[in-house]
Amino acid sequence: MAKLFLVCGPTGAGKTTYSMSLCEEVGAVKFSIDPWMQTLFAKDMQSLDFSWMMERVGRCHEQIWEVCEQILSLGGNVVLDLGFTTKAQRDLFVSKASELGIRAEIHYLDAQKEVRRKRVAKRNIEMDPKVYSFEVTDMMFDFMEPKFEVPTDSELEHGCKVSA
């Protein structure tokens, strides 16, 4: 039976690293939003405009879902490392999975702000291509920090909270 995993958490929580491990564990295809956004839209970004970014994230989500739907319908597993900043984003993918007869699992990565900030600084220095798509500045970190909506207990009913 195909499985869909939604990995969410604030900036620097370790979503991409966790997603890579989860893929190995369950034999899944991983989709990460950062390389998509970097490749398709980074050169066009004028400023940190949340609505501009989210509109483009939505476009990426649509394209990613088209491929995910094919993988899932063939019985494959998928891990989505798409940030899932808002409950509405998570709900949309849970609903899409439900339409295919699949119960999505939300995996919420939780880590203290200062731990995450240090991870981001380290990632910016190391630039490991497995987890690094672009530099996350302090301004970007602070900009995104209040945007993340922590999953509710009901969202995690079939998923889990991971202390990262």
pLDDT single digits (tens) 115-163 = 999 988 888 788 777 776 667 888 888 888 899 999 999 999 999 999 9
pLDDT in tens, 69-83: 999 999 999 999 998
Neighbouring-strand partners of residue 83 = 8
Task: Name the average pLDDT for the chain.
Answer: 90
Residue % of the chain over a pLDDT of 70: 95
Amino acid at 94: V
Q: Are 6 and 107 contacting, i.e. CB atoms less than 8 angstroms apart?
A: yes
Residue ranges and CATH numbers for the domains of the chain are 4-42+49-163 (3.40.50.300)
